[in-house]
Chain A
Amino acid sequence: DIQMTQSPSSLSASVGDRVAITCRASQSTYTYLNWYQQKPGKAPKLLIYGASSLQSGVPSRFSGSGSGTEFTLTISSLQPEDFATYYCQQTYSLFTFGPGTKVDIK
């Protein structure tokens, strides 16, 4: 089974900050890597698929990069509505989510 880790597990940031979250896989997932955003009490929302493709309707301040075993989700300028938990997910071998990164207000 492919295991996923994320760092940091949480971070505090201010509106306007550039934020980067790292996701690592226990073996190569090539670019079969997605990112989701989840707000409290709500269902997850797909942000990035295929490691770097922006899902339709998602603001361009979100971007994804990486391949193989290391991936990064970057928010170029954090907005108030971006405070949430972010999960990576591999889809190379079945499906595994990372443990999540909570982004809250500094």
Chain B
Amino acid sequence: EVQLVESGGGLVQSGGSLRLSCAASGFTFRSFSMIWVRQAPGKGLEWLSYISYSSDTISYADSVKGRFTISRDNAQNSLYLQMNNLRDEDTAVYYCARVGGSYLTNFDYWGQGTLVTVSS
């Protein structure tokens, strides 16, 4: 069974940093690209960052470029999101998801999410 479990969320002051983790199991992690998506309270879904299976392709949404860094450790079956210079508007539930479909890309498995609250 595919499982993705996020951790690392919590309360942080504006300007602070936080590192999210996503532990993967039930599939060959090193063969799949991964992404982070967030959802602010009462709002829709926002894609944040993408990392290819080998880490050679990385992309960011403009809203987090220069502040957030995605990375992965295929030996540890783990995905990370380093978040620096956090702002109030970064308050959200953060999800990791697996990128499925070699051609018709989709996000086929999701974690349960971890809540990040940024307080000024």
B106–A46 touching, CB < 8 Å: yes
B47–A49 touching, CB < 8 Å: no
Count contacts on B: residues with CB < 8 A to the other chain. Answer: 21
Residue-wise, chain B 81-94 has the 8 Å CB interface mask toward A (1 for contact) of 00000000000000
A87–B112 touching, CB < 8 Å: no
A99–B44 touching, CB < 8 Å: yes
A43–B44 touching, CB < 8 Å: no
Q: Is A14 interfacial (CB-CB < 8 Å)?
A: no
Q: How would you classify the secondary structure of chain A's contact residues: helix, strand, loop or mixed? A: loop
Residue-wise, chain A 44-71 has the 8 Å CB interface mask toward B (1 for contact) of 1110011001010000000000000000
Residue-wise, chain B 53-90 has the 8 Å CB interface mask toward A (1 for contact) of 00000010100000000000000000000000000000
> Which residues of chain A are near B100, meaning CB under 8 Å?
46, 49
Complex formed: what's the CA distance from A19 to B39 in Å? 25
Count contacts on A: residues with CB < 8 A to the other chain. Answer: 24
> Which residues of chain A are near B106, meaning CB under 8 Å?
34, 46, 49-50, 55, 89, 91
A87 contact from B45, B110, B111, Cβ within 8 A: B45
Residues in B lying within 8 Å of A, measured CB to CB: 35, 37, 44-47, 50, 59, 61, 95, 100-101, 104-108, 110-113
